[in-house]
Amino acid sequence: MVFLMSEFERKIGYVFKDRSFLRTATYQELNRTLAFFGDSALDFVVAEYLFKKYPDMDQGGLTRLKALVVSDERFNEIARRNDLEMHLILKKGASSSARKRNATFLEAVVGAIYLDGGMKQMREFVYRMIILPQDIDSYLGNLVKEKVRLNEFCQQNYDGFTPKSVVIHSEGVPHDMVFVMSYTLSKETTNLDHDITGIGTGSSKASAEENAAKEINEQLRQLCLME
């Protein structure tokens, strides 16, 4: 067991001073509370990184990007990629999926490192094993534009309906135009008791359209209709 633990520490690049934290993280029967703590600490570090790395990205984009970085699917992939799951000691009769077990395990390791070595050591571990630039670059390409999200949502939920944008107003000279555009989902389409309208402004029709779609998507999320 000592060899396995030492091998595990080599893989994660951190040696524990208090090995009780290591034991708690690696025993499935013990690590859920530690994973809860690690998940919160991890959210902060990832949010901090993304906020600094992409200062021009809006809240919705940052939120979706963070969700991709800290997803159970990705944590499961990281655990398997680094051959960490062999060090998780399963409780008798464990029935949870391997994906969920590995995600909880990695979150518990983050919490254990924080408690044992502090924020600096935990942040270094996260940057070394979880915040991987090549992965994040690929996720950026997968962030769906708001207009596409709106169209897909409507097509899936409203019998193939595709909303049309409308130019409300435009002004300015050709090289310095401002457009105001809107999308409207009528109550007849959604079966709600009111229309839903999103209005967006931009220096091009495309950017105004995107901002209008973003606004209407936010309303759909608030109504718990869109994830």
Residues 34-52 have a mean pLDDT of 95
Would 2-140 and 146-222 be classified into the same CATH topology? no
Residues 29-48 have a mean pLDDT of 95
* Count helices and strands in the chain by DSSP H and E runs: 11, 3
107: annotated active-site residue: yes
Asked whether the predicted pLDDT for residue 3 surpasses 50, the reply is: no
Of the listed 83, 107, 171, 195, which one is catalytic? Answer: 107
Residue 105 CB neighbour total at 10 angstroms: 25
Q: Write phi, then psi, for 97 (nearest 5 degrees).
A: -70, 155
Report the CATH fold assignment for 2-140.
Ribonuclease iii, N-terminal Endonuclease Domain; Chain A (1.10.1520)
39: annotated active-site residue: yes
Residues 3-14 have a mean pLDDT of 81
Residue 41 CB neighbour total at 10 angstroms: 19
For residues 182 and 133, give the distance between their C-alpha atoms in angstroms, rounded to a whole number.
Answer: 36
What architecture is domain 146-222? 2-Layer Sandwich (3.30)
Helices 119-129, 98-117: inter-axial angle, 10-degree rounding? 140
For residues 123 and 52, give the distance between their C-alpha atoms in angstroms, rounded to a whole number.
Answer: 14
* pLDDT at 2 (0 to 100): 46
* pLDDT at 174 (0 to 100): 72
**Each residue of 197-217: pLDDT tens digit?**
999 988 778 778 888 988 998
What band does 65 get if pLDDT is binned at 50, 70 and 90? confident
* pLDDT at 149 (0 to 100): 83
Percent share of the chain, pLDDT over 90: 48
Percent share of the chain, pLDDT over 70: 94
Residue ranges covered by each domain of the chain: 2-140, 146-222
Asked whether the predicted pLDDT for residue 108 surpasses 90, the reply is: yes
* pLDDT at 95 (0 to 100): 63
Residues 38-66 have a mean pLDDT of 89
Asked whether the predicted pLDDT for residue 1 surpasses 90, the reply is: no
Of the listed 9, 18, 29, 39, which one is catalytic? Answer: 39
Q: Identify whether the C-beta of residue 177 lies closer than 8 Å to the C-beta of residue 183.
A: no
* pLDDT at 81 (0 to 100): 92
Residues 165-170 have a mean pLDDT of 90
Q: What is the mean pLDDT of the chain?
A: 88
Most confident of 41-55, 61-75, 95-109, 174-188: 41-55
For residues 53 and 20, give the distance between their C-alpha atoms in angstroms, rounded to a whole number.
Answer: 35
For residues 196 and 211, give the distance between their C-alpha atoms in angstroms, rounded to a whole number.
Answer: 15
**Each residue of 9-19: pLDDT tens digit?**
999 999 999 99
* pLDDT at 144 (0 to 100): 60
Helices 205-222, 146-157: inter-axial angle, 10-degree rounding? 50
